[in-house]
Structure 1
Amino acid sequence: MTTPDRNAPTLSDGVVDWLTNGTRDERFIDNIFAQMCNRIQQAGIPLKRSTLHILINHPQWLGARFMWSDGMRDAQIALVDYDVRERPEYIGSAANEMQDGATEVRENLERDPSLGRKHALYDEMREKGLTDYVAWPLYHTLGKRHFITFATDRPGGFDEAHIKALKNVLPVLALVSEIRIKNRLARTLLETYVGAHAGELILAGATRRGTGTTVRAAIMICDLRDFTKISDNWPRDDVIDLLNDYFDAMSEPIARHGGEILKFIGDGLLAIFPLSKPDACINLLHAVTEARQAMAGLNERNNGSGRAPLNYGIGVHVGDVMYGNIGSSSRLDFTVIGPAVNMASRLEALTKQIGRNVVLSRDFAELVQPKFELERVGKYEVRGFSDPIELFALPS
């Protein structure tokens, strides 16, 4: 009996060499994946369809699926939400088997469907003329498992040489994909926790304590009213849901109009609109207007479920701020500080006294009038500032 030569060349050796040496300048795994599939075809492996499934750390999405099929230059990308595991599209699928620990899922699509696995995916592939399907895990470090699938329309399916060649690709693809996925993960986590612009600066090397730059910006500080009373009297999960709904109502308009949320502070948030961007102050007011509408809608829904309406205050000012790294030697915060930030905070506190949920400084108002109709509410003493400040509000 002849022992197989484990070092014998396979159909995919050229693909492995390209993955190892030819992908250094490619940042995105979807591009590498699509090119890899086309090269597998060119190597003589009858590949018709392939998918790459990646688990990602994202507040909205469980994972991403990249799909390539014959004739495609680029891969299609689909995001997968956290609830997918409760739906028929997942239950009983190859993804389900892979996440449960399977090391291979192989399905002969030419045989009688009653003898094979029962799932809509296999029926769809049969309808498209596919004859064989295989899925394998893609192992990353620290026990992370993703997976990849290959399918063919070749009569009789993949032969042993094809399977060996495809398996030969997996270890190198695992290394190449892990680097790109972790780069994307680092960017996603920074965008999630510090914001897109701050994340870009940090990735570019702005990590030294005390470093920063002076930025002229419109500053917005928002705070929820009576939160202590709510958190003391409501069930914990209800409080978390309430905060998430409140922050969605406030945050989505800010992001939509070009603002940058620097931090959430308990039941409050700090956001800036750098004046380096066109119409920054106008965009801030558009964001505030939409946030007020979203809060009104949220309160209407809460009222229907027996919850009390949520009250809030927003203080808005404009000025120069120091934007950069502040903190201890081992724990930094990328934020803004300066008198302009203090003023916005004081104005937010004054909303209680004035009885308006949005209060604007004169400095800010001068930059938006007459494009925005504002109401003058008078001069008020502001804690920490020597002279009374003339204040404005949005019409009720």
Structure 2
Amino acid sequence: MNASELLEINKWLVDGARSAPTPSQMMAECCERLVRAGLPLWRVGVFVRTLHPEIAGRNFIWKPGAEVELGTVDYQILDSPEFIASPLVIVFRQGLEVRARVDDPASARFPIVEDLRAEGVTDYLALPLVYMDGFINASSWTTRQPGGFTEEQVNAIRSLTVPLARYIEIITLRRTATLLLDTYVGNRAGERIMGGQIRRGHADTMDAAIWLSDLRGFTALSDRLPAATIVEILNLYFDCQVAAIRAHGGEVLKFMGDGLLAVFPVDEYLGDEAQVCSRVLNAARESRAGVEALQFPNGEVVERFRFGVALHLGNVLYGNIGGGNRLDFTCIGPAVNLAARLEKIAGRLGRTVVASERFAGICNGDWSDLGEFPIAGFSKAERVYGLHDEAPPAAHA
């Protein structure tokens, strides 16, 4: 081992691995430099747990002459027999180092050893990567060197775990902050907050198509069914909308009980209002079909669910609103208020999709003129449009 080169690699990690702008590039450069310094690495893995509602963790795998392989794992893997029998479980749960020499009979307790043997690996080392608060991630290091790693080489790997853990911790914290913001406020709002728009009053105006929806009969439903069932229903109901909204370029800003507020910024499409509105209408049709087919998880249809969505196009104020140090990143303005009023009209008319005159005039969607309605808080009545393919029910929910 070249001790001076090893020291330089440690310093490079402590300094933030500046020559490698991404985690994958850091992983590749670090491993290649270690090999040049005399460490006979074959396969190196870094396994990082994440704070994400769907992803349990991410892994980065390096092998000589290949691109760093990136992967994600879901929460189901944590209960799988393969994971439970892995040396990494000991690292994650106990924070202990695990070594498995392929020629050592004691290593046979780990099923992975047979896979390593077939790959020509002679030694396997799993080490914890410990954050400042004690949170543990894991790394694995293998070699094909006859006889496995020497003690000097093992000590060299151990010396890397602290600076490597610091680097990963910083990157992970930044990524976690971004993911949490995306999860709770949406990706565009998250980008603005991460960019420094965190003070009350930081706001911009933008032209956007506005989506405001509501589940029909939710209050009565809540009275009849257990709370846990209501939560399941709401999650399934929102799944029918969120996927369609995001697929068509929208961003969900807020869940309000059974209500949902989303925006589709016009400036994302070079000012093409017709294209944006067309995407919104497609999302509304997909959501309608999804809600109509909604069933409980056990497959028994309890009742036919209905929802209403109001579509409008206008200028909104988009930014931080709140009191003291408790803020919300949302949008407000007369256009949002009008969408809220239209959604209530949709309920009175027994319609699923209604649109303002401005939205329907821009979006070619085979609209029916439903008439003119007074709007609370607005000086002028608003002409409301519904879809031709939707016949109102005889009795409203």
The Cα of 1:179 is off from its aligned counterpart by 0.9
1:52 aligned onto 2:46: yes
Deviations 1:1-21 (A, max 9, x none): xxxxxxx94762232122123
Is this contact kept in 2: 1:11–1:44, CA < 8 A? no
- The one-letter amino acid of 2:303's match is A
- Counterpart in the other structure of 2:356: 361
Deviations 1:52-89 (A, max 9, x none): 011111111111111111212x3211111111121122
The Cα of 1:373 is off from its aligned counterpart by 2.0
- Counterpart in the other structure of 2:57: 63
Is this contact kept in 1: 2:368–2:385, CA < 8 A? yes
- The one-letter amino acid of 1:43's match is A
The Cα of 1:221 is off from its aligned counterpart by 0.4
Identity %: 37
Q: Classify 1:265/1:61 alpha carbon distance in 2 versus 1 (closer, same or farther; 3 Å).
A: same
- The one-letter amino acid of 2:150's match is D
1:281 aligned onto 2:274: no
Instruction: Provide the TM-score with structure 2 as the length reference.
Output: 0.92
SS of the equivalent of 1:90 reads helix
The Cα of 1:234 is off from its aligned counterpart by 1.8
Deviations 1:241-300 (A, max 9, x none): 11111111100010111101111111111000111122211111111111112222324x
- Counterpart in the other structure of 1:266: 257
Is this contact kept in 2: 1:10–1:161, CA < 8 A? no
Deviations 1:355-388 (A, max 9, x none): 111110011011112xx22222221222222322
SS of the equivalent of 2:235 reads helix
Q: Classify 1:206/1:340 alpha carbon distance in 2 versus 1 (closer, same or farther; 3 Å).
A: same
For residues 10-159 of structure 1, the aligned pairs below 5 Å read 12-21=6-15, 23-24=17-18, 26-72=20-66, 74-112=67-105, 115-159=106-150
* Gap runs ≥5 in structure 2: 270-274, 391-397
For residues 177-188 of structure 1, the aligned pairs below 5 Å read 177-188=168-179
Distance in 1, matches of 2:21 and 2:228, equals 40
Deviations 1:157-180 (A, max 9, x none): 000111011111111111111111
- The one-letter amino acid of 2:368's match is E
Q: Which residue, out of 283, 289, 306, partners 1:293? A: 289
Q: Classify 1:13/1:302 alpha carbon distance in 2 versus 1 (closer, same or farther; 3 Å).
A: closer
Deviations 1:170-229 (A, max 9, x none): 111111111111111111111111111111111111111012111111100011122222
SS of the equivalent of 1:143 reads coil
- Counterpart in the other structure of 2:196: 205
Q: Which residue, out of 254, 262, 287, partners 2:245? A: 254
Distance in 1, matches of 2:293 and 2:21, equals 42
Distance in 2, matches of 1:94 and 1:264, equals 42
Q: Which residue, out of 200, 203, 209, partners 1:218? A: 209
Is this contact kept in 2: 1:139–1:174, CA < 8 A? yes
Is this contact kept in 1: 2:20–2:29, CA < 8 A? no
> Which deviates more, 221-230 or 161-170?
221-230
Q: Classify 1:164/1:388 alpha carbon distance in 2 versus 1 (closer, same or farther; 3 Å).
A: same
Distance in 2, matches of 1:143 and 1:229, equals 47
Is this contact kept in 2: 1:260–1:273, CA < 8 A? yes
Distance in 2, matches of 1:376 and 1:121, equals 67
Is this contact kept in 1: 2:292–2:306, CA < 8 A? no
Distance in 2, matches of 1:273 and 1:119, equals 51
Is this contact kept in 2: 1:217–1:320, CA < 8 A? yes
Distance in 2, matches of 1:302 and 1:94, equals 36
- The one-letter amino acid of 2:309's match is I
Is this contact kept in 2: 1:28–1:180, CA < 8 A? no
Q: CA RMSD in A?
A: 1.8
Distance in 1, matches of 2:298 and 2:43, equals 51
> Which deviates more, 179-188 or 20-29?
20-29
Q: Classify 1:297/1:34 alpha carbon distance in 2 versus 1 (closer, same or farther; 3 Å).
A: farther
Is this contact kept in 2: 1:14–1:43, CA < 8 A? no
Is this contact kept in 2: 1:208–1:325, CA < 8 A? yes
Instruction: Provide the TM-score with structure 1 as the length reference.
Output: 0.92
- The one-letter amino acid of 1:56's match is T
Is this contact kept in 2: 1:132–1:151, CA < 8 A? yes
Distance in 2, matches of 1:296 and 1:44, equals 64
- The one-letter amino acid of 2:122's match is T
The Cα of 1:339 is off from its aligned counterpart by 0.6
Q: Classify 1:121/1:232 alpha carbon distance in 2 versus 1 (closer, same or farther; 3 Å).
A: farther
